Amino acid sequence: MKQTATLLLFALGTALGQAVEPAKLKLHWAKNYLTISGDHLPGGEMKIHYLEAYCRANSQTTDWSKHTVVGHKTRLVSRSADGSQLKLHCVVSDGVTVEHVITATHDEVDFQLTAHNPTAKRSEAHWAQPCIRVGKFTGTGADATPDKYAYIKKSFIYLDGKRAMMPTQGWATEARYIPGQVWAGPGVPRADVNPRPLHPAVPSNGLIGCYSADGSMIFATAFEPYQELFQGVIRCLHSDFRLGGLKPGERLEIRGKIYIVKNDEKALLKRYNRDFPTHNKLHRKKK
């Protein structure tokens, strides 16, 4: 009903010759969860465990709790009056700090991160997980179905230069922990990703996403640099960003996007390629 009202107001403004700006998505963060909300967002809101974990290398076959997770604490620095921007500050237990500037428009959320190692030792944190819950968006949330994995059939990745709906060909089923599916990013050691079934293929671009319940909209996400793409076990999709074990004094700029757009794959790919121009070289097959 709210989504319909928003569209009617937009149409009325257009008919009257008025320039009507689409309503921005709103952001809220508390207790390590980032919430995106908006009348035009399918499901009304999207929760993100932000951040679920900072992680060590040598993680594909090792114990998640005893080995992989590096502790961290995050606090809210500021939130704009209209809810369109948040600033967060993370302190990883090995001393690394990460500043987050998160900004929403009507159809995307932009992430600008700066990681810094002020210590005299190399950081243990090689990658980190924003865990994006897409159950409500896909119409397969806990209130709609007891099947935790119904959303997979509405989810996609890119393999061999084409969109591949999940479960894809070559779907892996064995790992230390099951189920789930991991795609290691180009050049990322396959030993340094999530301890879930590891797909044999490397993605042909850095996008992972899904379709809304009625098929009218697409959710997609990408980060640069990225460690892995991941279909998880809590009705979630991930683009997990790479830190690489920062050297003493080293800084790293990390960028990310969440797109929540109308179902136009060509337009989405054009926008992604514009936002992440380095991904073209990263994913180019070597002859």
Q: Dump the DSSP string for 17-72.
A: T---PPPPPEEEEETTEEEEE-TTSTTSEEEEEEEEEEE-SS-SSS-IIIIIEEPE
**pLDDT computed for residue 15 by the predictor:** 52
Average pLDDT (31-40) is 97
Q: Which of these, 46, 48, 66, lies nearest to 56 by C-alpha position?
A: 66
Q: Does 204 map to a domain?
A: yes
**pLDDT computed for residue 13 by the predictor:** 53
Q: Which of these, 151, 137, 118, lies nearest to 252 by C-alpha position?
A: 118
Q: Does 68 map to a domain?
A: yes
**pLDDT computed for residue 19 by the predictor:** 61
Q: Does 5 map to a domain?
A: no
Q: Does 30 map to a domain?
A: yes
Q: Does 7 map to a domain?
A: no
Q: State whether the Cα torsion 36-22-105-152 is positive or negative.
A: positive
**Any bridge partners for residue 261, and if so which?**
218
Q: What is the CATH number of the domain that holds 173?
A: 2.70.98
Q: Which of these, 112, 100, 74, lies nearest to 223 by C-alpha position?
A: 112
Whether the predicted pLDDT of 4 surpasses 80: no
Whether the predicted pLDDT of 80 surpasses 60: yes
Structure tokens at 270: 């054009």
Quote the percentage of the chain above a pLDDT of 90: 90
Whether the predicted pLDDT of 238 surpasses 50: yes
pLDDT tier, 284 (very low <50, low <70, confident <90, very high otherwise): confident
Whether the predicted pLDDT of 27 surpasses 90: yes
Peptide bond into 167 cis (omega under 30): yes
Q: Does 252 map to a domain?
A: yes
Give the domain extent around 108.
25-280
Q: Does 2 map to a domain?
A: no
| Entry pTM | 0.92
Q: Does 8 map to a domain?
A: no
| Total number of domains in the chain | 1
Q: Which residues contact 196 (CB under 8 A, 6 or more apart)?
A: 175, 176, 177, 178, 179, 180, 181, 182, 230, 232, 233
Whether the predicted pLDDT of 287 surpasses 50: no
Whether the predicted pLDDT of 97 surpasses 70: yes
**pLDDT computed for residue 22 by the predictor:** 87
Average pLDDT, the chain: 94
Average pLDDT (248-264) is 98
Whether the predicted pLDDT of 180 surpasses 70: yes
Structure tokens at 184: 């290691």
